[in-house]
Every structure is written in C-alpha cells, then in structure tokens.
Amino acid sequence: MPGLIVQKYGGSSVASADLIKNVARRIAGVHESGTRVVGVVSAMGDTTDDLLALARQVNPEPHDRELALLWSTGEIVTSALLTMALQALGHESVALTGFQAGIKTNAFHTKAQILDIDSRRIDAALDRGAIPVVAGFQGFTEEMDVSVLGRGGSDTTAVALAIALKADRCEILKDVDGVFTADPRVVPQARKLDHISYEEVMELARAGSQVLHPRASELGETYAMPIMVRSSFHEAPGTTIVRGEDMPLEGRERIRAVAHDTDVGRITIVGVPDRPGIAFQVFQPLEAAAINVDVIVQNVSQENVTDISFTIARSDLTKAFRLVQPVAQEMGAREVTSADNLAKISVVGSGLAANPGYAATMFGTLADAGINIVSITTSEIRITCLIDETKVTDAARALHRAFKLEEA
C-alpha cells in the first residue's frame, strides 16, 4: 500500500455538486485505507471556456495578467467545494490556492512554468492527518501575480506536487478509462492501453490528443514519477505511464495510437526573399508571445524566393497573424495568408524508430482513402500529416485499421 498519492480530478469529474460529492467519497476512501492523499482539482465542467468567453465580452483581447487571475478562480471554486464535501464526510481537509500551496512559476501569466514548490503548508496539513485539496492549473510569479500553467495545466500541478512531496504515485482521474488507441468517439474500435511511455504520451499531446498536459509527462519522465490515467467513476485500473525501458516487451515496438487534432490554424508567408535569418525573424516574436509553433514547412526556394508556412492552435491564429504581418512586410514578402480548415492526423509509437516501413503504410493508407496530404512532419516516434479537416474521421478510422490497433 503506497504511503502517499496525489489524485487529480479533471473538469468533467467535478462538473456538479453531486460529482464533487462522488470525488469526496473516493478521496475519503483512499484516506480511510491508510494512504495519505493530496487532491488536485480542475475547474468545474466548462468553467475555463466560459470565463474566457466572459472576458471577451468585456474586452476582445484581455490582457494575460488579468486573464490568468480570472481563470484561476475556476479551480479555486472546485477546491473550496471539494474540501467542504470532505468536511461534510467528517474529514479534516484544507483547500489551498496555488499561491497557498507554494507553487512558484515564471512570469508567462497564462502559460507559466513551475519553477519551484514550497510544500510546507501541504506537509503540515498531511502531518496533522488532514486532506489538502489544491486548486490546479495555477501558481504565482515573483511579482506575486497569479499565473496559470496553460490549458490543461492541472495535470502538471498534480505531477509537480507528486514529485515535490515524494509521492508514490500520481493518479489522473478523468471521465475516460485511460489512454486509448484512438479517440473512441471517432474510432469506435479504439482500445484502452494498459501501458504507454511518457515519450509516447508527450507525442500524443503534440498530436492533439488530450491525454495529459505535455509538461506533466515531461516532468513525470524526468523524475520517474509513475502516473496512472484512470476513470473517476469506477475503480478499474487505467493506463500506467512508464519509462520506455519499463514497457512490457511485447508492446514495445509498435504503433501505439492514432491521434487527431482539429484545433489547427495555419499561417503562410508567401514570397519571402530567401536569406539567412528569416526564420528567426518570423518565429522569434511568436516565441516571445508563448505561441507554440508546430508543423513548419519552408519550400525549396526558386529564384531566391521561398514560402514559409506553419501551424499553431486555431485560438492563436489572430494574434500570430498580427505578429507575423509586420515582420513579413519588412522582409519584403509578397503576402501573408491564414487557413482554419485543416486538421492534423498522426500515428505515434516507439515502433516508428525501428520500422521505416510504417511511414509508407501511413501515406499509402491515406492515399487509398483518397485523402490529400498538405504537409508532413515527423519526430522519432510520430508522423503527422496535415489534411483537410472534413477528412479527419475517415483518416483516423483507416489508420487504426491499417495498423491493427484494435488487436491487443
């Protein structure tokens, strides 16, 4: 029996008073079994989206500092309510904001990274037998501003806390049973995986599947913190995330999953004079604005003029366009265009490194399904194709079949 676990409950697992009471019973069960437990919570249901929509009603472009402050309230509400529910069950419990939990971050208000955790307050609560419930997703900057860790960041709060507290395990409890070979809503044959590696989870996140916040897997791998993704509605074991070398042998060299992402915007800078430094000039302002750039394609230049295109989250499209346009103009580019009708389809698995034939299988499968590939990017264990958004379901199903992912 582990001595200490951190349990993080996602937004749909705490979306109502009844669900919060359900989570309280579950946490109480762990506590009563003699295992110390720290709860980490997301905002209830769609609160984070709703708060953003509300902000935009008063200002179409809210400043990051105030948006972070506004967003942080969602998780604070849940932590207070869950604590009250635990108290109603007769347990000593204490709700903590990110600030009270000692979570220090850098100054990117809405996409902050955790720098350090001063866990004294949590340690003290645990020492007196209380159950700390920490508001996920948030921390505070050196300037004492409230910061948040980027969408989905409560996972990172949980894993970082598990590491800081030297917990035996971090559990991520969701409205799904674990990590699947594809999104079951899109591919009905999708199957739950027993194991997956941190690296594969990270690549799945880059490919757009919301298994775990990428920073959470990165931290988990660095500190070898075992993470289990499981359902908050029943006790069945979910998917355990382990280091690649700890994967069961028979599962190692495979394609693990198909992922798709429709939150894709693309910007193309047409007719850029090809000279040293242009990529830097284009991407530096995006990096400074903490906009993640993904699939980057620069064409082979003709007569010293080239095109550069890249993808970003669709929600960053307007901002990125505005940052890129003056730079492009200054460079003498012909024009800047944007597209919001594309999607990414990816296959992920450590098997890719060993089997160059898998790339051909992917391209052949898409070709047979009559799906045009706009551009391709790869990592060692991922291949991503940009395709028309309307073809994404067909592509996911065809690839799931081609790689026999329904078979254990």
The residue ranges that bind ligand ASP (CB under 6 A) are 11, 42-43, 48, 74, 136-137, 151-155
Measured from each CB, the residue nearest to Mg ion is: 11
Three-state DSSP state, 319: helix
Nearer to Mg ion by Cβ, of 154 and 309: the residue is 154
> 221, exposed or middle or buried, with CB in 10 Å at 0-12, 13-18, 19+?
buried
Which partner in ligand ASP, Mg ion, none is near 137 (CB below 5 to 8 A by kind)? Answer: ligand ASP
Q: Which of residues 26-65 bind Mg ion (CB under 5 A)?
A: 42
Residues 209 and 202: their CA atoms lie apart, in Å, by 10
Residue 72 interacts, among ligand ASP, Mg ion, none and using kind-specific CB cut-offs from 5 to 8 Å, with none
Report the residue number, 137 or 310, with the smaller CB distance to ligand ASP: 137
Given a contact cutoff of 8 angstroms between Cβ atoms, the answer to whether 264 and 342 are in contact is yes
Q: Please tell me the count of residues contacting Mg ion according to CB under 5 A.
A: 2
Amino acid occupying residue 177? D
| Min CB(155)–Mg ion separation in Å | 9
CA dist 112 and 106 (Å) reads 6
Tokens 């045009």, residue located: 372
Query: What is the amino acid identity at position 377?
Result: T
Nearer to Mg ion, 14 or 190 (CB): 14
29 φ, ψ to 5°?
Answer: -60, -45
User: What does the DSSP 8-state code read for residue 390?
Assistant: G
Cα–chain-centroid distance for residue 109?
A: 17
Tell me whether residue 11 or residue 150 sits nearer to Mg ion (CB atom): 11
Letters for 1-20 (x = contact with Mg ion by CB under 5 A, - = none) are ----------x---------
CA pair distance 46, 386, nearest whole angstrom: 28
Instruction: Name which of 153 and 214 has its Cβ closer to ligand ASP.
Output: 153
Kindly tell me which of 5 and 212 has the beta carbon lying closer to ligand ASP: 212
Concatenate the DSSP letters of all residues of 349-361 into one string: -THHHH-THHHHH
Residues at the interface with Mg ion (CB under 5 A):
11, 42
